[in-house]
Amino acid sequence: MYRNTPNRCCARSLRPVFILLCDNHRLVGVLALILFLGISFTLPETALGQSGVTGTLTGVVQDQNGASLPGVTVTVKNLETGAVRTVATNGEGSWTIAALAVGTYEVAFEITGFRRLVRKRVQVEASVPRTLEDKLELGDVDAVVNIVEGASLVTPETATTFRQLSADDLVTVPTSTRSFTQLLSTEAGVNTELSPVLTNSNGNQSPSVNGTRTTSTSLFFNGIDATNITTNEGSLNDNIAPAPETLQEVKLQTSLYDASTGRSGGGNFQLVTTPVVSNSMRLIPGRSRWTPAPRIPAALLVPESRMSPIPAL
Amino acid sequence: MQGGLRNLEANHAVSDFDRTHRFSLNFVYEIPSFGSASKFLSGWQISGFFQAQTGTPYSIFSPEPEIGSATQYADLTRGSGGLYRLGFGRPGLCGSLAELRQQGSDITEDSFNSAVLCSPLGQNGSLGRNILRAPSQSRFDLGIVKSTKLTEKVSVEFGWDIFNVFNRTNFAAPDFELGSPDFGRITTTVGGPRVMQFKARLKF
């Protein structure tokens, strides 16, 4: 039935090949479908495409008197992507959610008989377990207690010595070669030569961390070991030097780091790039949400009246 | 490896990356507009990066220490190992370390007193490893940024970065190779002269 439909613009012999191209209505419909699927798949979904670097949130929930509260539902929501993970506190009132993508989170605690507690803007950083200690108040579960400040600066779960720079620090403070290595050399125990100016090299500095050789430093790029990317040693002089605008977070761990992040005795640089959405929009640190995906312009959509009816088979 | 094979103390010294003192500081200060909504008064920001540190240690050595003929026996740059040499040759020290560390009036010409160095006379030189230090270094970088909102989403940022604000000359280690024409002289600097750059950035 489909094949036998007379078609004005195609010669009969060419019809099998050109049937799609000749039928204007159908062609536009197919193109619109492709466009729609393409846009709807690329826009929000690429926003979800997080880098492979993860951190951990952990904590203890107690009641007002300091007794541990088992069975509290802890909901962790990524403010950038909307991804939600839930866990219940154990018999000691403690909870852990590992492998959370780096970013800003909202953490909610809920159990019957207590007021709901919401922690807004909790930062999850690469390879740093953050501890939240919360006390729930007796009351109606619908009454919400909001805590705006994030997790405590002290991280009792890890002994790692590190310094972390945000995207803002990297862009704001003048560094003569625009390399992430320069500002991190202000960390205690790190020393390096004065940074060069007017250089044609990548401008990275390979610091000596706690007296180790300058080649003992390792580099992780979005969770991937990028230490030996061009040379067979840990020197950063010949390694990647991404522009500061492309980095979301930069960290240098100098001592007592976790075995999973340490490679050699020196320091560990960790770079996390800014996730990028199509349309070259990006998440601006400090803003809680992605800019909403633009609507498909009406001109690109085919009015329903002009669409061909789906042929019966 | 330098010096006597059976003398472990010969190479006992501070590491090549050692700096006795180091101070570094960076800051970002947003200049308050004191409640003014003026586009000219708000959005000013000043930031800086200061580093000061002692220099790294270096050793005096000769890369070609073999004695080729008897006439070279007392040559300062020869000896220190001969056939049994593993690495580079070091001269002997005929005086005290304090004498060696005496600098001339112009440190770029005489960073140390080479008159107290003497030929090891075919033996291992007595001069220690990493006993001298390059001059100390310091640099202050300053950045001034004015950002102005054009619309709710778009803002423009003009910046002026000054590297090495005080134009301090930071000398590198002197030429420490025996027999080199520039031996004892400082011929290079690190960290560069005062350099400024202007930048404009459109944020959206």
User: Could you please report the per-residue DSSP string of B67-93?
Assistant: --SGGGTT-TTS-SSGGG--S-B--EE
- Identify the pLDDT of residue B129: 84
A201 shares contact with chain B (CB less than 8 Å): no
First CA to last CA distance, chain A: 7
Per DSSP, the three-state class of B161 is strand
- Identify the pLDDT of residue A32: 61
Is B28 in Cβ contact with A173 (below 8 Å)?
yes
- Identify the pLDDT of residue A12: 47
Q: What is the CA radius of gyration of chain A?
A: 27
Q: Which residue of A has its CA nearest to B15?
A: A211
Is B49 in Cβ contact with A175 (below 8 Å)?
yes
Q: Which of residues 13-42 of A touch B (CB under 8 A)?
A: none
Beta bridge partners of A62: A68, A135
CA distance B17 to chain A (A): 6
Using alpha carbons, select from A202, A72, A46, A198 the residue that is nearest to residue A141. Answer: A72
Is B25 in Cβ contact with A176 (below 8 Å)?
no
CA distance A227 to chain B (A): 20
Is B162 in Cβ contact with A198 (below 8 Å)?
no
Q: Which of residues 140-199 of B touch A (CB under 8 A)?
A: 141-143, 145, 161-164, 170, 190-193, 195
| Max CA pair span of chain B | 85
Taking residues A198-204, what's their average pLDDT? 81
Is B164 in Cβ contact with A197 (below 8 Å)?
yes
How far is the CA of A62 from the CAs of A251, B4, B48, B129, B150, in angstroms? 33, 67, 44, 60, 49
- Identify the pLDDT of residue A17: 41
- Identify the pLDDT of residue B83: 46
Position A205 pLDDT exceeds 90: no
- Identify the pLDDT of residue B143: 94
How far is the CA of A18 from the CAs of A21, A122, B94, in angstroms? 5, 57, 97
With beta carbons under 8 A apart, name residues in chain A contacting B53. Answer: 191
With beta carbons under 8 A apart, name residues in chain B contacting A183. Answer: 26, 49
Is A214 in Cβ contact with B192 (below 8 Å)?
no
With beta carbons under 8 A apart, name residues in chain A contacting B161. Answer: 174
- Identify the pLDDT of residue A21: 44
Is A194 in Cβ contact with B190 (below 8 Å)?
yes
- Identify the pLDDT of residue A311: 61
Q: Is B194 exposed, middle or buried (0-12, 13-18, 19+ CB in 10 A)?
A: middle
Is B47 in Cβ contact with A172 (below 8 Å)?
yes
Contacts of B76 (CB under 8 A, 6+ apart): B91, B117, B118, B119, B178, B179
Is B49 in Cβ contact with A186 (below 8 Å)?
yes
Position A264 pLDDT exceeds 60: yes
- Identify the pLDDT of residue B146: 94
A208 shares contact with chain B (CB less than 8 Å): yes
**pTM as predicted:** 0.66
d(CA A293, CA A277): 9
Q: What are phi and psi of A271, to 5 degrees?
A: -110, 135
What is the mean pLDDT for each group of 10 consecutive residues in chain B (204 residues)?
67 88 91 86 92 92 76 76 56 89 90 88 81 94 93 91 94 90 92 92 86
A176 shares contact with chain B (CB less than 8 Å): yes
Q: Which of A176, A214, A215 to probe by mutation at the B interface, max B CB count within 10 Å?
A: A176
Contacts of A128 (CB under 8 A, 6+ apart): A55, A56, A155, A158, A160, A162
Q: Which of residues 145-174 of A touch B (CB under 8 A)?
A: 169, 172-174
Contact B113, B93 (CB under 8 A): no
Contact A99, A127 (CB under 8 A): no
- Identify the pLDDT of residue A3: 45
Taking residues A127-152, what's their average pLDDT? 73
Tell how strand A116-124 and strand A103-110 pair up: antiparallel
Confidence of residue A40 (pLDDT cuts 50, 70, 90): very low
Using alpha carbons, select from A161, A164, A169, A192 the residue that is nearest to residue A271. Answer: A164
Position A103 pLDDT exceeds 60: yes
Q: Is A8 exposed, middle or buried (0-12, 13-18, 19+ CB in 10 A)?
A: exposed
- Identify the pLDDT of residue A223: 77
How far is the CA of B165 from the CAs of A122, A174, A200, B114, B138, in angstroms? 39, 12, 22, 35, 11
Average pLDDT, chain A: 73
Contacts of A48 (CB under 8 A, 6+ apart): A81, A83
Is B191 in Cβ contact with A195 (below 8 Å)?
yes
Using alpha carbons, select from B111, B101, B115, B93 the residue that is nearest to residue B3. Answer: B93
Segment A215-254, tens digit of pLDDT: 888 888 887 888 865 565 667 877 888 888 888 888 888 8
Q: Which domains does chain A have, with CATH numbers?
A: 54-147 (2.60.40.1120), 161-274 (2.170.130.10)
Residue A247's H or E segment, with its range, is: strand A247-255
Per DSSP, the three-state class of A21 is helix
- Identify the pLDDT of residue A302: 61
How many CB atoms are closer than 10 A to CB A70? 14
With beta carbons under 8 A apart, name residues in chain B contacting A197. Answer: 163-164, 191-193, 195
Q: Which of B19, B45, B51, B164 to probe by mutation at the A interface, max A CB count within 10 Å?
A: B51
Confidence of residue A309 (pLDDT cuts 50, 70, 90): low
Confidence of residue A16 (pLDDT cuts 50, 70, 90): very low
Taking residues A146-159, what's their average pLDDT? 63
Contact A233, A263 (CB under 8 A): no
Taking residues A83-92, what's their average pLDDT? 90
Q: What is the CA radius of gyration of chain B?
A: 26
Q: Which of B56, B133, B140, B141 to probe by mutation at the A interface, max A CB count within 10 Å?
A: B141
Contact B43, B147 (CB under 8 A): yes
Q: Which residue of A has its CA nearest to B134?
A: A193
More confident residue, A130 or A94: A94
Contact B58, B134 (CB under 8 A): yes
Please tell me which of the candidates A186, A196, A214 has its beta carbon nearest to residue B192. A196
Q: Which residue of B has its CA nearest to A185?
A: B24
Segment A276-303, tens digit of pLDDT: 544 444 444 555 454 444 555 666 666 6
Taking residues A134-152, what's their average pLDDT? 72
